Amino acid sequence: MSRFTGKVAIVTGGGGGIGSAVVRRLVSEGAKVAVADVFLNSAEAVCEPLGDATIPVQFDAAEPNSIEAMVEKTVEHFGRLDILHNNAAMTDPAKHPLDTDAVNIPVEIWDEIIDINLRGYLLGCKYAIPHMVKGGGGSIVNTASNSGTAGDLARIAYGASKGAIITMTKYIATQHGRQNIRCNSVAPGVVLTEALDATVPGLKEVIKRHILTPEFGDPDDIAALVAFLASDESRYITGENISISGGGLVHQPHYADLLDMMQQHLS
Ligand SMILES: NC(=O)c1ccc[n+]([C@@H]2O[C@H](COP(=O)([O-])OP(=O)(O)OC[C@H]3O[C@@H](n4cnc5c(N)ncnc54)[C@H](O)[C@@H]3O)[C@@H](O)[C@H]2O)c1
């Protein structure tokens, strides 16, 4: 039997790079999945080849009522809820560049990012957990980021939202564990989705110097980890944050420079 036979999941940001890979992975292992996104057409495009195993749901992570409606629509349609993958994040290309540093970030950009990325995840949990408890338990997997565990030159609001997701995950695991709710986060390093590759050319070469694996990870690598955490195979893991980044954060900061130096020395 497949790992998710009889299970129902919601994947937020399901129309995007990582979310759509998670949807396909869960469905391939027997789950029914609500593909939830602010852009209905992206959700529909993901659902189309997957047929009755999925439904597209339009929602806006900035709007509390629409998060509640997303959960209710899923339960109404599929009859239960076992898995929530909170994965949507503010990705508006017109606003992203305004997420800079403490001095320069406009207050409204800070608020919008925190509302979508952090409050949106909290509210997903708020409305999903009672349905999961009713069904005997469930697994929540939040997409954080390595940006939530270390500083960077830009994106202070994004990083703060992701760091808070890692902490919130531990609170949810602690407060609802005895109700058979597990909650974990995954923290990708740079994953070359089509969108990212197109918007930040050159990023690949910069990041490649700092990862330990020969190849970059792709959305299917993240999906494999999310599926493991969503499944009963990880039943003894809760409250954890798992970095998935080719070892990008496990080495000394001078790793890439030292490697260059050693190679120059040998040539
Ligand atoms: N790609 C990476 O390198 C990377 C690295 C670390 C973490 N992440 C995280 O992974 C998750 C998925 O990112 P991705 O790379 O697949 O990006 P993506 O842009 O491909 O997908 C994000 C999805 O979220 C949706 N979305 C945006 N605002 C929304 C809102 N207000 N309400 C509902 N949906 C909304 C978008 O429409 C999109 O489909 C995000 O949480 C992101 O922060 C990505």
Mean pLDDT (whole number) for 145-170:
97
Q: Quick: pLDDT tens for 166-175.
A: 999 999 999 9
pLDDT of res. 226: 99
- Using most ligand atoms within 8 A of CB, pick from 35, 38, 67 the residue to mutate for ligand 1: 38
Please state, in angstroms and as integers, the Cα–Cα distance from residue 37 to each residue in 74, 81, 86, 185, 225, following that order.
13, 18, 11, 20, 21
76-124 pLDDT, tens digit each: 999 999 999 999 999 888 998 999 999 999 999 999 999 999 999 999 9
Looking at ligand 1, which residue's alpha carbon is closest to its atom 25?
Answer: 13
Local structure of residue 237 (DSSP, 8 states): -
Domains and CATH numbers, the chain: 8-266 (3.40.50.720)
pLDDT, one tens digit per residue, over 23-65 is 999 999 999 999 999 999 999 999 999 999 999 999 999 999 9
Contact 120, 160 (CB under 8 A): no
pLDDT higher than threshold 90 for residue 194:
no
**pLDDT at residue number 195:** 72
Going from the Cα of 249 to the center of ligand 1, the distance in angstroms, rounded, reads 21
Assess whether pLDDT exceeds 70 at residue 135.
yes
Report the chain's mean pLDDT, rounded to a whole number. Answer: 96
224, 26 contact by CB (below 8 A)? no
The Cα–Cα gap between 71 and 90 comes to: 20
Q: Which residues pair with 54 in a beta bridge?
A: 33
- For residue 200, pLDDT beyond 80: no
Residues in contact with ligand 1 (CB, 6 Å cut-off): 13, 15-19, 37-39, 42, 59-62, 87-91, 116, 143, 145, 188, 190-191, 193, 195-196
Q: Which residue has the tokens 């197109």?
A: 198
Q: What is the dihedral of CA 23, 47, 41, 98, to 10 degrees?
A: 0
Angle between helices 40-47 and 17-28 (to 10 degrees): 30
Active site (catalytic) residues: 158
